[in-house]
Chain A
Amino acid sequence: MLIVHCHVCGAEGDETDFHYGGQAHIARPATRDPANVSDAEQRDYLFMRHNAKGLHFERWRCDRGCGKWFHAARDTVTMEFKATYGISELPPRALMEAATGEWAVFFKDRLAKGSEA
């Protein structure tokens, strides 16, 4: 049983009070340049997922509270929530640096730029 904290309204509840929204930080390629989306980019958007063993970044919705979406960093082996952060934000810097595998590759440029999501 996961105990989840809503980043927006501060409510705390078990996992049935929340809805899991899958991997975080997936940008829809057609939003930026609808005329030039390759089949591979569309495949990545629809189906390819970081399937991290360990630190993972994902979306949750506060179903039975405020109804807002937010981001969470969670360990997929220990099930521990490391942090929650806003739906338009990047994770805390320390967690981006701690990311491994596909997530480390994903955060590399963003860490260099220090930009917002």
Chain B
Amino acid sequence: MKSRYSIFSLARNAMNYHKDWERAWRSPTPKSEYDAVIVGAGGHGLATAYYLAKTHKLTNIAVVEKGWLGGGNTGRNTTIIRSNYLQDPSIAIYELARSLYEDLSRDLNFNVMFSPRGVMMLCQTEHEFRAFKRTAHANRLAGLDCRMITPEEVKKIAPIINDDPNCRYPILGAYYQPRGGTGRHDAVAWGYARGADSLGVDIIQNCEVLSIRRDGGKVAGLETSKGFIKTKKIGVVTAGNISTVVQTAGLRLPIESLCLQALVSEPIKPVLDCVVMANTVHGYLSQSDKGELVVGGGTDPYNNYSQRGSFPALEHTVTALVETFPIISRLRMLRMWGGIVDMTGDRSPIIGKTDIDGLYVNCGWGTGGFKSIPGSGYVFADTIFNDRPHPIAEPFGLNRFIEGRLIDESVAAAVAH
């Protein structure tokens, strides 16, 4: 068991000039066999391993990762956390995740800097206003703390917003989730990694899965760049690369991989203390604790595995935000990057069993992966351990595409993708 982080450990280590901090996780060599192996050490994969070890006491497990942990979409998102989706199954899983975030720093003994600063989704057309009102009613029925607010309240919460009633897309109101906000994305991965590691989980980085070995209708193990690992249960959580991994087991998925870009500005003094999403004009904005404005928008339109987006998508996002926040028009941008997101036809995730015994998938989170990490890991761990879908995960099974029982969130997603 690792020593706990606390004010006392900080003081003790300060005495030694911080030379004696122990490593947050080990770098073990893979064993020849595990009870279960998770593929992909992003937030979702590490959370799955953590809850398998903590809740289900399954500790002879490994997480294998092609690169370094948290280096994919977990380190590439805009860190927004909210749960105000339209459909009941989505509300259940995203709210589970959001509520777990509230307590996550204490649970993991690692500060994930969850900041429930409020998420405001602007209504800039009459149609959008009515659509969000519908979502608001659905959310209130489900017990979420969300409400519609007036243009005056919007201006009060975000004074830098353009409230000119004569602009092309005037602010008609907003849909507000006060308990939504942001978190520190890297800390979520690191916290779960440290937590899982201290419970005995082997996190094996720089270990690429080359193929999934099958023994008839069930899995036998994984061929990796560090040799064969025998296991009866494999959970694949590799976001944009899911198709290439499960293809080696002969499994096809209703997924396409697209590039989603984000960018941050130079740090400035505090101007915005909530998350603002402007869906009609396609952009969203928040300010990090360092002072950078964090900007995101829609995906590039075509299939892409390169983690590099193209300029028109960025230009579109920035144009929209300058219109909404004229104050940022001369701000310089520091960094931009892209992540490969796994999009499903109904913009809802796929969580559950497959036709192959012992092969479980958790993917299709598309552009909404970060906010769902704790909830996704929680229900996926339960699904793998009990070999049946967790009740909250059940509607998200692969069979929904055959039954036509879609969970359509293409409207409730932050911006149209």
B202 within 8 Å of A by Cβ? no
A100 to chain B, nearest CB (A): 10
A2 within 8 Å of B by Cβ? yes
Contact residues, A18-68 vs B (CB, 8 A) = 19-20, 22-23, 39-40, 43, 46-49, 51-54, 56, 58
With CB as the reference atom, state the residue of chain B lying closest to A78.
B306
A91 to chain B, nearest CB (A): 16
Give A47 to B407 CA distance when docked, in angstroms.
Answer: 13
A23 to chain B, nearest CB (A): 8
B225 within 8 Å of A by Cβ? no
A35 to chain B, nearest CB (A): 18
Instruction: Select which of A15, A53, A79 is within 8 A of B244 by beta carbon.
Output: A53
Q: Are B306 and A79 in contact (CB under 8 A)?
A: yes
A44 to chain B, nearest CB (A): 8
Chain A residues positioned under 8 Å from B301 (CB to CB): 15, 19-20
A88 within 8 Å of B by Cβ? no
Q: Are A76 and B306 in contact (CB under 8 A)?
A: yes
A1 within 8 Å of B by Cβ? yes
A77 within 8 Å of B by Cβ? yes
A102 within 8 Å of B by Cβ? yes
Give A77 to B302 CA distance when docked, in angstroms.
Answer: 12
Interface size class of A (residues with CB under 8 A): 20 to 34
- Specify the main secondary structure of chain A where it touches its partner: mixed
With CB as the reference atom, state the residue of chain A lying closest to B307.
A77
Give A46 to B241 CA distance when docked, in angstroms.
Answer: 21
Chain B residues positioned under 8 Å from A77 (CB to CB): 305-306
Chain B residues positioned under 8 Å from A116 (CB to CB): none
With CB as the reference atom, state the residue of chain B lying closest to A46.
B345
With CB as the reference atom, state the residue of chain A lying closest to B315.
A16
Contact residues, B316-339 vs A (CB, 8 A) = none
Chain A residues positioned under 8 Å from B404 (CB to CB): 39
Contact residues, B224-276 vs A (CB, 8 A) = 241, 243-244, 247, 252-257
Chain A residues positioned under 8 Å from B252 (CB to CB): 48, 102
B88 to chain A, nearest CB (A): 21
With contacts A78-B306, A79-B304, A101-B247 known, is A49 near B312, CB below 8 A? no
With contacts A58-B302, A77-B306 known, is A51 near B402, CB below 8 A? no
- For chain B, the count of residues having a C-beta within 8 Å of the partner chain is 25
Q: Are B303 and A51 in contact (CB under 8 A)?
A: yes
Chain A residues positioned under 8 Å from B303 (CB to CB): 51-52, 56, 58, 76
Q: Are A1 and B312 in contact (CB under 8 A)?
A: yes
A109 within 8 Å of B by Cβ? no
A33 to chain B, nearest CB (A): 19
Q: Are B306 and A49 in contact (CB under 8 A)?
A: no
Q: Are B254 and A2 in contact (CB under 8 A)?
A: no
Instruction: Select which of B241, B253, B312 is within 8 A of A53 by beta carbon.
Output: B241
B403 within 8 Å of A by Cβ? yes
Give A23 to B256 CA distance when docked, in angstroms.
Answer: 9
Question: Could you say which of A19, A48, A49 has the most chain B C-beta atoms within 10 Å of its C-beta?
Answer: A49
Q: Are B345 and A47 in contact (CB under 8 A)?
A: yes
B354 within 8 Å of A by Cβ? no
A117 to chain B, nearest CB (A): 20
With contacts A58-B302, A76-B303, A76-B305 known, is A48 near B310, CB below 8 A? no
Q: Are B402 and A40 in contact (CB under 8 A)?
A: yes
B401 within 8 Å of A by Cβ? yes
Q: Are A51 and B302 in contact (CB under 8 A)?
A: no
Encoded as 1 (CB less than 8 Å from any A CB) or 0, chain B from 354 to 385 comes to: 00000000000000000000000000000000
A43 to chain B, nearest CB (A): 5
Give A99 to B18 CA distance when docked, in angstroms.
Answer: 54
B222 to chain A, nearest CB (A): 18
Q: Are B254 and A15 in contact (CB under 8 A)?
A: no
A90 to chain B, nearest CB (A): 20
Q: Are A47 and B403 in contact (CB under 8 A)?
A: no
With CB as the reference atom, state the residue of chain A lying closest to B254.
A47
With contacts A53-B244, A76-B306, A77-B305 known, is A1 near B254, CB below 8 A? no
Encoded as 1 (CB less than 8 Å from any A CB) or 0, chain B from 281 to 314 comes to: 0000000000000000000011111100011100
A58 to chain B, nearest CB (A): 7
With contacts A47-B345, A49-B255, A101-B247 known, is A15 near B401, CB below 8 A? no
Give A92 to B110 CA distance when docked, in angstroms.
Answer: 55
List 13 extra interface pairs beyond A48-B253, A76-B303, CB under 8 A. Answer: A1-B310, A1-B311, A23-B256, A48-B252, A48-B254, A51-B244, A51-B303, A53-B244, A58-B302, A74-B302, A76-B257, A76-B306, A102-B252
Q: List 16 A-B contacts (CB under 8 A).
A: A1-B312, A2-B310, A15-B312, A16-B312, A20-B301, A47-B254, A47-B344, A48-B252, A49-B256, A51-B243, A51-B244, A52-B303, A53-B241, A53-B243, A56-B303, A102-B252
Those 10 A-B pairs whose CB atoms lie nearest each other, nearest first: A47-B254, A51-B243, A20-B301, A20-B302, A47-B345, A53-B305, A43-B401, A43-B402, A47-B401, A39-B402
